[in-house]
Amino acid sequence: MKKLSVWVLFGVLAIGSVVLNNTPQSSRNKPQNESASGVLDYYLLALSWSPTFCLTRPENAQCSGKGYGFVLHGLWPQYAKGGWPQSCAPNARLSAAERARGLTLFVTPALLKHEWAKHGTCSGLGAMGYLAAADKALGAVKVPEPLQPLSKEVYFSAQDITQMFRRSNPGIPSDGIAVICRGPELSEVRVCMAKDLSFQACGKGVKNQCRSGDIRVPPMR
């Protein structure tokens, strides 16, 4: 009976070893919560083309004849190997002073609330620090003259838009910017920035998402 128990124990340990050795390393080492505040490699500054957003959301506050062109969508912490942290703890509510500061950068209170909760909490900077970083990043990128708010629609290829941004911002490397479309229209331009908010190459997975050929840039509303 004693020998039988020993053999049963040996069998259980052997099976456990086989299961462990056939489990992917990423699964074995995967932390319970991958999103930790302040753990990031670089930032992605997302500039949204407001007229395209307003095509499907005309009731939104930014779409009531404000005449916006590019607006701040967000400053997003990123991982160099792909992916990003999100909704990091502690997710403290913005104070009245922080909301007032945020509304000088974001076009609606709802966008400010969302961006802080999903992305800002992962910056490790605190609310005021995150908003100051977003302001600095926004101020560092010069929008090309042909893409200032438009009174009529124009057409450019994603490559054209990339080149215009790089001419207006010589520090942006060729792999440091991505143009995003929603169907045939320009949706966003995303610029990769180091932790000190200087321009840098983008990490894995950040690339153009537009069809080939010309894309439509809707006029301001």
Q: What is the pLDDT along the chain (221 residues), one digit of tens a residue?
A: 444 444 434 443 444 443 334 443 333 333 434 689 999 999 999 999 999 999 999 999 999 888 899 999 999 999 999 999 999 998 889 999 999 999 999 999 999 999 999 999 999 999 999 999 999 999 999 999 999 878 899 999 999 999 999 999 999 999 999 999 999 999 999 999 999 999 999 999 999 999 999 999 999 87
- Using the structure block, give the residue that is written with the tokens 């990423």: 26
Cβ 63 vs Cβ 54: under 8 Å: yes
Residue 51: its H or E element:
helix 50-56
0.85 exceeded by pTM? no
Distance in angstroms (rounded) separating the CA atoms of residues 37 and 34: 10
Cβ 69 vs Cβ 131: under 8 Å: no
The tokens describing 60, both together, are 């939104």
Q: 217 - beta bridge partners?
A: 154
The reply to whether CATH 3.40.50.450 applies to domain 42-217 is no
